[in-house]
């Protein structure tokens, strides 16, 4: 079963889920439990053998990304902070990113994901006040502080030493003799104690906590978390914050409660509640790359205890020769090499090994009289090397210069450390650039990766792990004395190091991965096609011996404590191979909202992976919970997948400064950033610090943020401003909501700072002639830098015949918020009837939904033509009231051949004027069924029955 549910960010807890099968009747009580978030929804497993994110070599089964649609109709799935609703698994690819909170901008669920179903929604004012009450309730509970101590676990299984409640999270610590389950008012988790019986967990919640035995019918204990005194103090904390709130946010309060402005509601909610987690429920890993502000001398390696490198060999002469060459050239500290030939039938192996040993006096050669397999061969080597630290090294591992010093330095950091494993291109949870995704390295990549690894601070770039990986694993002498042999049940290999690590962990040992070393691994050469079957069989043994091991590995992957070093080393690796040296390595600055800009960026990243080996995307992360000022969400994209990590801005700047190849930085969009100018200033300082020839900066105008904090050019009156001039712009600028982002006092300062940055750009790219006019209006001095390069729409639907039904049916495509014309659609929906139908293929802000509108819900782009035929559309309507910089939607609608109506502004107006089936309407045109009938050449009298009043855009629509 693949589970979709709420997963704790703790290192010792993972979500449980209740199967949605016939044994669980769909009762009102169960539906209420689902809505409250106490029950997670299970979906059938996908037919693929290895879902994205899984690691079959380590026996890991992971949850796929949630295909559900959340309460607001936005795609993205489950979040720790909101309920889940199983709906049709479609996504238009152009929706805004899902909100990680449920609140003001998104009133209670509107279940109109089904086709041809008209929604029933509460009155707008009622839903607004209901949402406000819910947000204030959550605001109150996350300010609760409480502590409870010495609580006995059910069935005498131990005790909880302390429970601490703060900021909406419950922290538990104590001792237990068996697994148990936790359920709070917001999340649930299964908790497995460590080998010493200790546990610590973090679970979201604030009201109550239920503790139960892991057994199905075990004892259960439930208790409230806050006492009367705690509630009084929480109320005082809330009052302190809320006292000044109306003065600080009066514009947004009026806009939300009087006009139902969902964007104002979103800003209000953002001011009150933290962003807790991204869609999918798993927090973005936080960490540090390990790059020090200044070079630090590495501590010395003990010279009085030389390590023994054990190298089992079986055939593969070419790889063995290369492995020995790297080992001989790159190992300089005191050591011994013990080569064991496991009865290789290849006649080349014996003279090859003898010649190498003869040339290296610190080496010794042993031969097995018969094939013992990997485990038996290693055990012979361990017995021969008794009393020494040992490094297990595969014959397909290529070690870099200084490798042994760095590995042993980490091993001797602490007496409790029993094993150390480096990063590699193929080392399961220690793989880079993406964990558990092997990568075949091109020439130069391994060297570039290790040069970066060698710069990292070993006191930062390490993490405790549930196991080591035996391709290159250092083992401490003291722990080998306690467990001197690997278990021979694992036969020729795979899984034996996991067993040794778990057995030593039971004795108190720790196993770590270090980011200060990168070793190339050409995996599986010794076992060839046997590997999948061997992995599967040995994983069954591990699962039977250590039932909690899979969970430990999954929790390690969710936290990814090596994400910072993994990203730094992976970035150097990808940049180390330059297929096109005339271009720099791509670095994109982007927002986190999805939509058309993200759709374009995803396509561009795919090109970068094919042409430039990968790409780095940097996003503002200031609103992440407890994120430091200037935090950056870094995403490293490669053919193997994506590595994400939340980094401090200074750490990211140091990393970019260390990349030895030119960088091609592209500004895509920073709308929604808390301090976009500060973000760009730090980038400018980094480029100045690098001072490298070939670095370039390109501005792309996916919206108008560099011209105005209102990136859609919608003024304080919620209408398109038209860039009227300095005085009028300043008056509007001063009236913009205070929560719309950090900015200077005057718009002239805003534009001047962006202009300084734009002057540094090699090129400014716009995607429509209308956008070019807007940019030249504000920055006429940069006209020579501006290039017009419309996007390639791609994946366009085929032509569709008009519906031909007696009722005129108008289709609308996409995710519709206020700027996209939601208020217009709501008023137009009020005029629908037997002669006039309005169909939205997509989603709408719930504040503007209307029963007269048929809402299909999310869709795939290749479904557009089929859906147009299904709903018998006669034409399309684009209600957007801001000057879009480019519109994929208008090109998709035009490609169907149906008439397309829209307002004459922005890129959408440019496209409609140029298309034979485009019909432009002046902005502000009263919209009636008769107007649509006349525009299509139909009898307007047939539409009169649909209604008499017009729908028009207005700044105060409610």
For 910-925, write each residue's pLDDT tens digit: 999 999 999 999 998 9
- Rounded CA-CA distance 554/13 in Å is 10
Residues 6+ positions from 636 with CB-CB distance below 8 Å: 433, 567, 570, 571, 574, 614, 615, 616, 642, 643, 644
DSSP classification of residue 199: E
pLDDT recorded at residue 417: 96
For residue 224, the model assigns a pLDDT of: 84
For residue range 141-165, list pLDDT tens digits in order. 888 888 888 888 877 778 888 888 8
pLDDT for residue 25: 37
pLDDT class of 674 with cuts at 50, 70, 90: confident
Q: How far is CA 915 from CA 699, 883, 904, 910, in A?
A: 28, 18, 13, 9
List Cβ neighbours of 463 (8 Å cut-off, separation of 6 or more): 512, 513, 561, 562
637, 617 contact by CB (below 8 A) = yes
- Name the percent of the chain lying above pLDDT 70: 80
Confidence of residue 217 (pLDDT cuts 50, 70, 90): low
Q: How far is CA 248 from the centre of its chain?
A: 32
Q: Please check whether residue 803 is in contact with residue 871, taking contact to mean a CB–CB distance below 8 angstroms.
A: yes
Residue 448 has pLDDT above 90, yes or no: yes
Mean pLDDT lowest among 106-110, 340-344, 464-468, 610-614: 106-110
Residue among 247, 206, 211, 241 at smallest CA distance from 225: 206
| pLDDT of the residue at 869 | 94
Residue 339 CA from chain centroid, whole number: 44
Which among 5-9, 29-33, 95-99, 920-924 has the top mean pLDDT? 920-924
What local confidence, expressed as pLDDT, does residue 218 receive?
63
pLDDT of residue 582: 64
pLDDT at 114 over 60: no
Q: What is the DSSP string of 548-611?
A: THHHHHHHHHHH-TTHHHHHHHHHHHHHH--S-TTSPEEEEEE-SSBHHHHHHHHHHHHHHHHH
**Of 33-37, 179-183, 287-291, minimum mean pLDDT range:** 33-37
For the chain, the average pLDDT equals 81
Give residue 111's pLDDT band: very low, low, confident or very high (50, 70, 90): very low
Mean pLDDT lowest among 66-75, 415-424, 855-864: 66-75
Burial of 956 (0-12, 13-18, 19+ CB in 10 A): exposed
If pLDDT is split at 50, 70 and 90, which confidence band does 86 have?
Answer: very low
Give pLDDT, residue 939.
Answer: 66
Where would I find the beta strands (DSSP E) of 244-288?
none
The reported pLDDT for the residue numbered 38 is 30
Geometric angle at alpha carbon 14, from 230 and 205, rounded to 5° = 15
SS3 of 774-802: the string is: HHHHHCHHHHHHEEECCCCCCCCCCCCCC
The string of DSSP codes covering 414-467 is: -TTEEEEEEEESS-GGGBSSSTT---PPPTTHHHHHHHHHHHS-TTTSEEEES-
The pLDDT confidence band at residue 257, using thresholds 50, 70 and 90, is confident
Q: What is the pLDDT, as a whole number, of residue 127?
A: 60
> What pLDDT digit, counting tens, does each position of 936-950 carry?
887 655 544 444 444
CA distance 435 to 229: 47
Q: What pLDDT digit, counting tens, does each position of 764-787 carry? A: 999 999 999 999 999 999 999 999
CB of 452 closer than 8 Å to CB of 576 = no
5-14 average pLDDT score: 28
Q: What is the mean pLDDT of the segment spanning 117-132?
A: 52
Q: Per the structure block, which two tokens stand in for 318?
A: 């070419």
Average pLDDT over residues 71-87: 28
Between 77 and 880, residue with greater pLDDT: 880
Torsion sign (Cα): 741, 742, 745, 746: negative
CA 148/CA 161 separation, integer angstroms: 8
| Contacts with 817 (C-beta within 8 Å, 6 or more apart), sequence order | 96, 262, 263, 844, 845
| Tens digits of residue pLDDT in 359-390 | 999 999 999 999 999 999 999 999 999 999 99
Report the SS3 class of residue 24: coil
DSSP state of 537: H
pLDDT value, residue 957: 45
Q: Find the mean pLDDT for residues 313-341.
A: 96
* Residue 953's pLDDT band (cuts 50, 70, 90): very low
Q: What percent of the chain has pLDDT over 90?
A: 52
Which of 62-71, 296-305, 802-811 has maximum average pLDDT? Answer: 802-811
Is pLDDT above 80 for 851?
yes
pLDDT the model gives residue 47:
32
State yes or no: pLDDT of 567 exceeds 70: yes
Alpha-carbon separation of residue 282 from 55, 463, 464, 559 (angstroms): 17, 19, 20, 9
The whole-angstrom separation of Cα 49 and Cα 52 is 10
| pLDDT tens, position by position, 607-665 | 999 888 899 999 998 767 677 888 999 999 999 999 999 999 999 999 999 998 999 99
Asked if pLDDT for residue 27 goes beyond 90, the answer is: no
Band of residue 752 on the pLDDT scale cut at 50, 70, 90: very high
Determine if residue 158 is left, alpha or beta; phi over 0 gives left, psi from -120 to 50 gives alpha, anything else beta. left
């Amino acid at each position: 079963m693949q589970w979709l549910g709420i997963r704790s960010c703790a290192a010792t807890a993972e979500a449980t889920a209740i199967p949605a099968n016939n044994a669980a009747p769909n009762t009102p009580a169960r539906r209420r439990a689902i809505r409250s978030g106490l029950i997670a929804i299970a979906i059938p497993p996908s037919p693929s053998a290895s879902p994205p994110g899984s690691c079959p070599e380590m026996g890991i089964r992971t949850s796929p990304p949630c295909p559900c649609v959340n309460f607001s109709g936005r795609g993205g799935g489950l979040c720790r902070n909101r309920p889940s609703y199983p709906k049709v698994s479609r996504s238009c690819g152009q929706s805004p990113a899902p909100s990680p909170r449920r609140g003001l901008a998104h009133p209670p669920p509107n279940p109109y994901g089904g086709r041809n179903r008209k929604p029933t929604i509460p009155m707008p004012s009622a839903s607004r006040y209901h949402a406000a009450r819910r947000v204030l309730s959550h605001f109150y509970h996350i300010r609760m502080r409480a502590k409870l101590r010495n609580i006995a676990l059910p069935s005498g299984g131990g005790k909880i030493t302390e429970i601490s409640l703060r900021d909406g999270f419950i922290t538990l610590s104590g001792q237990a003799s068996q697994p148990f389950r936790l359920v709070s008012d917001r999340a649930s988790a299964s908790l497995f104690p460590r080998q010493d019986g200790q546990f610590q967990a973090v679970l979201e919640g604030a009201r109550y906590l239920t503790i139960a035995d892991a057994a199905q019918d075990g004892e259960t204990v439930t208790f409230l978390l806050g006492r009367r005194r705690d509630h009084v103090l929480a109320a005082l904390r809330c009052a302190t914050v809320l006292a000044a709130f109306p003065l600080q946010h009066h514009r947004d309060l009026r806009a939300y409660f009087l006009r139902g402005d969902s964007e104002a509601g979103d800003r209000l909610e953002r001011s009150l509640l933290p962003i807790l987690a991204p869609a999918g429920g798993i927090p973005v890993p936080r960490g540090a790359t390990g790059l020090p502000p200044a070079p630090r001398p590495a501590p010395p390696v003990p010279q009085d205890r030389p390590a023994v490198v054990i190298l089992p060999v079986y055939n593969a002469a070419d790889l063995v020769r290369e492995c020995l060459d790297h080992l001989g050239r790159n190992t300089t500290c005191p050591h011994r090499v013990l080569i064991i030939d496991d009865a290789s039938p290849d006649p080349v192996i014996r003279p090859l090994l003898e010649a190498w040993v003869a040339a290296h006096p610190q080496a010794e050669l042993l031969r097995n009289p018969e094939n013992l397999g990997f485990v038996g061969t290693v055990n012979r080597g361990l017995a021969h090397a008794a009393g020494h630290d040992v490094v297990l090294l595969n014959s397909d591992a290529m070690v870099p210069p200084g490798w042994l010093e760095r590995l042993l330095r980490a091993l001797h950091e602490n007496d409790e450390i029993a094993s150390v494993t480096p990063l590699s291109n193929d080392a399961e949870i220690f793989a880079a650039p993406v964990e558990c995704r092997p990568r075949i390295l091109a020439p130069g990549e391994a060297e570039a990766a290790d040069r970066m690894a060698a710069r990292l601070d070993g006191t930062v770039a390490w993490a405790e792990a549930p196991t080591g990986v035996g391709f290159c694993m250092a083992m401490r002498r003291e722990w080998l004395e306690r467990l001197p042999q690997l278990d021979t049940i694992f036969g020729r290999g795979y899984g034996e190091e996991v067993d040794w690590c778990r057995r030593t962990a039971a004795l108190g040992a720790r196993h770590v991965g270090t980011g200060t070393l990168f070793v190339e691994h050409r995996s599986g050469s010794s076992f060839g096609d046997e590997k999948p079957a061997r992995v599967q069989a040995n994983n069954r043994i591990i699962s039977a011996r250590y039932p909690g091991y899979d969970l430990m590995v999954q929790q390690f992957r969710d936290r990814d404590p090596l994400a910072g070093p993994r990203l730094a080393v992976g970035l150097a690796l990808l940049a180390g191979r330059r297929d096109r040296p005339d271009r720099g390595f791509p670095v994109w600055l982007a927002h986190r909202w999805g939509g058309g800009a993200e759709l374009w960026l995803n396509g561009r990243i795919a090109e970068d992976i094919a042409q430039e080996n990968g790409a780095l995307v940097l996003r503002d992360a200031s609103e992440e919970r407890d994120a430091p000022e200037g935090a950056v969400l870094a995403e490293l994209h490669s053919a193997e997948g994506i590595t994400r990590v939340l980094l401090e801005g200074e750490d990211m700047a140091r990393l970019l400064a260390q990349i030895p190849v030119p960088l091609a930085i592209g500004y895509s969009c920073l709308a929604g950033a808390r301090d976009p100018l500060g973000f760009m200033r730090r980038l400018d300082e980094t480029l100045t610090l690098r001072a490298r020839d070939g670095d370039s900066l390109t501005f792309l105008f996916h919206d108008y943020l560099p011209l105005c904090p209102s990136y859609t050019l919608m003024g304080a009156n919620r209408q398109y401003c038209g860039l009227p001039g300095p005085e009028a712009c300043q008056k509007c600028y001063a009236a913009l909501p205070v929560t719309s982002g950090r900015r200077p006092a005057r718009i002239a300062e805003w534009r001047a700072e962006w202009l300084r940055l734009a002057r540094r750009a090699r090129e400014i790219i716009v995607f429509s002639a209308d956008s070019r006019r807007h940019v030249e209006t504000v920055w006429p001095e940069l006209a020579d830098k501006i290039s017009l390069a419309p996007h390639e729409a791609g994946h366009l639907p085929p032509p569709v015949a008009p519906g031909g039904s007696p009722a005129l049916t108008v289709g609308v495509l996409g995710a519709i918020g206020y700027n996209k014309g939601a208020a217009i659609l709501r008023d137009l929906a009020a005029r629908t009837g037997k002669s006039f139908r309005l169909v939205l293929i997509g989603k709408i802000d719930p504040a503007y939904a209307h029963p007269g509108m048929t809402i299909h819900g999310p869709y795939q782009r290749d479904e557009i033509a089929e859906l147009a035929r299904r709903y018998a559309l006669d034409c399309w309507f684009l209600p957007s009231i801001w000057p879009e910089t480019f519109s994929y939607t208008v090109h998709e609608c035009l490609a169907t051949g149906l008439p397309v109506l829209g307002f004459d502004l922005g890129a959408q107006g440019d496209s409609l004027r140029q298309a034979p089936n485009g019909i432009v309407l002046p902005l502000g045109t009263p919209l009636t069924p008769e107007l649509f009938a006349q525009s299509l050449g139909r009898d307007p009298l047939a539409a009169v029955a649909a209604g008499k009043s017009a729908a028009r855009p207005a700044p105060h629509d409610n």
